[in-house]
């Protein structure tokens, strides 16, 4: 195994001071699979304090568990002292770790055989649990009793599925059975950890295998049952070729639109999707676009006479950079149904817009926000309002999409007119009007009170 210079330096530093040092885990697995190595994690018989003493720059993240981050020529490496672990009381971390002198004990605590190999220059690859054989046979198998491994940390069940679909491996029978029997343990795991593993399954090159394993083990129900009461009887994603061409973020959006959309109960599904995203802490960029795509699919008119280039342009403006996902999701959801013609029609006008060079979004305007700032626009939503108006203008006549003309148009229209349409400006002015009304009412009440007092005085005199 050929080492990069920085790893070679680390090996020499440890060896020169009489310590053992090994590469461990994923880097050995990837080497045997001829895959790129991203991280070079290591383990050693040196204590964390001894590791810190060997390097000029270290970061003691995870030092309670024996891990020290060291830096060599700008590269960062995790180095962990050989250890065995106590009970996993929080289903994530052991309640205690005990540092040990031999690597065999350390490797025995790891999750899967394909991750339980080590390498050093003297011994070569150390493979005590037949990880190399499992790699050759494309098998995911736990180190030792799978029930014990999954009860220690239930997230390993999702990791098994993740490795199976990212590597295109098969989960070994006893390991798969243990996942089925221990699936309820996932209820004790934080939603953040589940989200990270679920995303990797969705993003893998074999998502269909991941979904099959999630369903056959019952983990699918653990994650989705309270959000999706129906059972998936057929493949969730039918157009895998289209899905494979998407970026990672696009894949997540596409997957969740297909998963949650149902034409018969759109409003309910949008609410359920919102609850799911909130529980699993998905980023707003994902949530906003998924819900908007679902909403726009539901709002599409059935009458083909309502569709033309301008309609499609407005749709593009609403969806911005997720229009293509919207179009592909619609084509998949309604494939071979009576509503397929809607998306065929939208796609036809979309292709026509490309040929006519008609702009479809703000990004294609000859002016941008910084141009508007230069002519006196304030830093607020007046810029957005103005750009939207320019999009409508240029949709009508693409030849007007020239910087000088558009800036002159805004100047003639008056910057103040756009500022007055700003929501904050309107709210502020509404507040002023309310205040004026309250002052007038208060003055009227004061006058009426004074008049009553005056009349009372007159009555007393009489």
The residue ranges of the chain whose pLDDT is under 50 are none
Spatial distance between the Cα atoms of 20 and 45, rounded to a whole number of angstroms: 6
What are phi and psi for residue 32, nearest 5 degrees? -70, -25
Q: Could you tell me which residues come within 8 angstroms of residue 61 by beta carbon, excluding any fewer than 6 positions away?
A: 67, 68, 69
Spatial distance between the Cα atoms of 235 and 386, rounded to a whole number of angstroms: 45
Provide the residue ranges of all domains of the chain, joining segments of one domain with +: 1-137, 142-225, 362-421
Q: At what angle are helices 403-413 and 382-396 packed, to 10 degrees?
A: 120
The pLDDT assigned to 75 comes to 92
The pLDDT assigned to 1 comes to 82
- The C-alpha torsion from 306 through 309 and 314 to 319, rounded to 10°, is 110
Terminal alpha carbon distance of the chain: 116
Residues 387, 320: contact at Cβ < 8 Å? no
Tell me the Ramachandran region of residue 280: left when phi exceeds 0, alpha when psi lies from -120 to 50, beta otherwise: alpha
Spatial distance between the Cα atoms of 260 and 271, rounded to a whole number of angstroms: 10
Per-residue DSSP letters for 117-171? Answer: -EEETTTEEE-TT-HHHHHHTTEE-BSS-HHHHHHH-THHHHHHHHHHHHHT-EE
- C-alpha distances in angstroms, 165 versus 26, 105, 139, 147, 424? 16, 29, 11, 21, 50
Spatial distance between the Cα atoms of 324 and 354, rounded to a whole number of angstroms: 13
Strand, helix or coil at 98?
strand
Which residues in 338-362 are b (16+ Cβ under 10 Å) and which e?
eeeebbebbeebbeebeeeebbbbb
Residues 179, 217: contact at Cβ < 8 Å? yes
What's 380's DSSP letter?
A: S
- CA neighbor of 356 nearest in space, from 292, 414, 312: 312
Q: What is the pTM of this model?
A: 0.79
- CA neighbor of 254 nearest in space, from 199, 347, 326: 326
What are phi and psi for residue 325, nearest 5 degrees? -65, -45
Residues 305, 345: contact at Cβ < 8 Å? no
Q: Quick one: how many helices (H) and strands (E) in the chain?
A: 23, 11
Distance from chain centroid for Cα 119 = 34
Strands 83-85 and 97-99: antiparallel
The pLDDT assigned to 159 comes to 97
Alpha-carbon torsion 100, 102, 105, 109, what sign? positive
Fold classification of 1-137 is Beta Polymerase; domain 2 (3.30.460)
The pLDDT assigned to 72 comes to 94
Residues 372, 378: contact at Cβ < 8 Å? no
What's 189's DSSP letter?
A: S
Spatial distance between the Cα atoms of 440 and 167, rounded to a whole number of angstroms: 75
Fold classification of 142-225 is Hydrophobic Seed Protein (1.10.110)
Strands 75-81 and 42-44: parallel
Give kind and range of the element (H or E) at residue 85. Answer: strand 83-85
């Amino acid at each position: 195994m050929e080492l990069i210079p920085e790893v070679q330096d680390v090996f020499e530093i440890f060896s020169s001071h009489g310590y053992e040092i090994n590469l461990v885990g994923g880097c050995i697995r990837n080497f045997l699979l001829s895959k790129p190595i991203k991280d070079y994690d290591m383990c050693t018989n040196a204590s964390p304090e001894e590791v810190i003493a060997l390097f000029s720059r270290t970061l003691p993240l995870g030092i309670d568990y024996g891990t020290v981050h060291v830096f060599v020529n700008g590269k960062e490496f995790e180095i962990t002292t050989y250890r065995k672990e106590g009970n996993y009381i929080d289903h994530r971390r052991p309640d205690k770790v005990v540092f040990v002198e031999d690597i065999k004990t350390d490797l025995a605590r790891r999750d899967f055989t394909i991750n339980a190999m080590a390498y050093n220059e003297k011994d070569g690859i150390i493979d005590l649990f037949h990880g190399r054989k499992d790699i050759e046979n494309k098998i995911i198998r736990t180190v030792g009793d799978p029930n014990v491994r999954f009860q220690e940390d239930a997230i390993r069940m999702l990791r098994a599925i993740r490795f199976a679909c990212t590597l295109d491996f098969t989960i070994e029978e006893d390991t798969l059975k243990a996942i089925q029997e221990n699936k309820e343990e996932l209820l004790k795991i934080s939603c953040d950890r589940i989200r990270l593993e679920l995303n990797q399954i969705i993003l893998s090159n074999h998502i269909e295998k991941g979904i099959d394993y999630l369903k056959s083990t019952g983990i699918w129900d653990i994650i989705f049952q309270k959000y999706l009461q129906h059972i998936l009887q057929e493949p969730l994603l039918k157009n895998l070729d289209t899905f494979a061409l998407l970026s990672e973020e696009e894949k997540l959006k596409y997957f969740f639109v297909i998963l949650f959309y149902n034409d018969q109960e759109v409003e309910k599904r949008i609410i359920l999707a919102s609850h799911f995203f909130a529980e699993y802490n998905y980023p707003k960029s994902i949530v906003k676009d998924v819900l908007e795509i679902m909403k726009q699919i539901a709002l599409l008119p059935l009458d083909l006479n309502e569709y033309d280039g301008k309609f499609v342009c407005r749709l593009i403006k609403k969806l911005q950079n997720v229009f293509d996902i919207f179009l592909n999701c619609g084509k998949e959801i309604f494939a071979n149904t009576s509503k397929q013609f809607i998306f065929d029609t939208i796609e036809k006008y979309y292709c026509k817009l490309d040929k006519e060079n008609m702009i479809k979004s703000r990004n294609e305007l000859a002016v941008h926000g910084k141009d508007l700032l230069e002519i006196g626009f304030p830093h607020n939503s007046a810029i957005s309002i103005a750009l939207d108006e320019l999009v409508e203008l240029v949709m009508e006549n693409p030849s007007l999409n020239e910087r000088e003309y558009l800036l002159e148009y805004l100047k003639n229209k008056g910057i103040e007119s756009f500022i007055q349409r700003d929501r904050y400006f309107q709210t502020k002015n509404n507040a002023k009007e309310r205040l004026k009304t309250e002052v007038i009412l208060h003055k009227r009440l004061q006058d009426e009170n004074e008049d009553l007092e005056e009349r009372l005085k007159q009555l007393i005199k009489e």
